[in-house]
Amino acid sequence: MSRMGNKPIDIPSGVKLEQNGQAVVVSGPKGKLNMTLPQGISLEQQDAKLHVKRSNDSKQQKMLHGTARSLVNAMITGVSTGFKIDLELSGVGYRAAVAGQKLTFNLGYSNPVEYVVPEGVTATMADPTHLSLTSIDKHLVGQVAANIRSFRVPDSYHGKGVKYAGEQLTLKEGKKA
């Protein structure tokens, strides 16, 4: 029995859910998202609650039950409040600049690293070392943040690199003489 899949989803006011067969469209104040449910998974809406149901108790259906519930919940949260990921650049001379949908990073390499932010993600900077990514799609904003972090993963000896805001790094001790 999937504990997560059986948990009902609260639908906030202003969010509209449409289902046509296995296609689900969620629209809200921030935008519109769609996905296709796996075979054997269905949605039942009762008032402001949404229940995810599965057709049988096969191993495959049990695995997809909780996953489908989490994906639908992320869609509902995205169109109502959105998702935000903050990144910090720590290191001497590490900085970034935003120009439209293009990010330019100076991360200690001989040339600056340029990255084009995909459609659906908004990048803003409070200062040259703090980057904020916002989107209604949880998967997309997480993937963009992971791509940016991969340009210079935080070093475990010096702590320099691109890290998530609030990420705790355990620094290793260097060589002893």
CATH number of the domain to which 158 belongs = 3.90.930.12
Q: Would 173 be classed as within a structural domain?
A: no
Given 80, 105, 129, the domain boundary residue is 80
88/70 same-domain check: no
Rounded Cα–Cα distance for residues 106 and 147 (Å) = 15
Please give the single-letter amino acid code of residue 46: Q
Given a contact cutoff of 8 angstroms between Cβ atoms, the answer to whether 164 and 153 are in contact is: no
Same domain flag for 19 and 49: yes
Domain count, the chain: 2
Instruction: Estimate the crossing angle of helix 59-80 against helix 138-149, to 10 degrees.
Output: 90
Domain span holding position 142: 83-164
pTM of the model: 0.90
Task: Please give the radius of gyration of the chain, using alpha carbons only, rounded to the nearest integer.
Answer: 21
Same domain, 39 and 100: no
How high is the mean pLDDT of the chain?
93
Same domain, 100 and 130: yes
Does residue 1 register a pLDDT over 70? no
- Over residues 145-163, the mean pLDDT reads 94
**Calpha distance 35→23 (Å, rounded):** 6
* Same domain, residue pair 90 and 68: no
Residues 91 and 76 in one domain: no
Q: Specify whether 102 is located in the same domain as 74.
A: no
148 and 91 co-located in one domain: yes
Say whether both 29 and 46 belong to one domain: yes
CB neighbour burial string for 148-162, b if at least 16 within 10 angstroms, e if fewer: bbebbebeeeeebbb
Q: What is the share, in percent, of the chain residues with pLDDT greater than 90?
A: 83
Q: What angle do CA 8, 9, 13 make, to 5 degrees?
A: 135
Residue 174 is assigned to a structural domain of this protein: no
Residue 2 has pLDDT above 70, yes or no: no
In a domain, 169, yes or no: no
Is residue 176 in a domain?
Answer: no
Same domain, 68 and 46: yes
CA angle 132, 133, 135 (to 5 degrees): 145
pLDDT digits (tens, 9 = 90+) for 96-128: 999 999 999 999 999 999 999 999 999 999 999
Does 89 fall in a domain?
yes
Residue 172 covered by a domain:
no
Q: In which element (H, E) is residue 149 found?
A: helix 138-149
Task: Show which of 27, 47, 80 is a domain's final residue.
Answer: 80
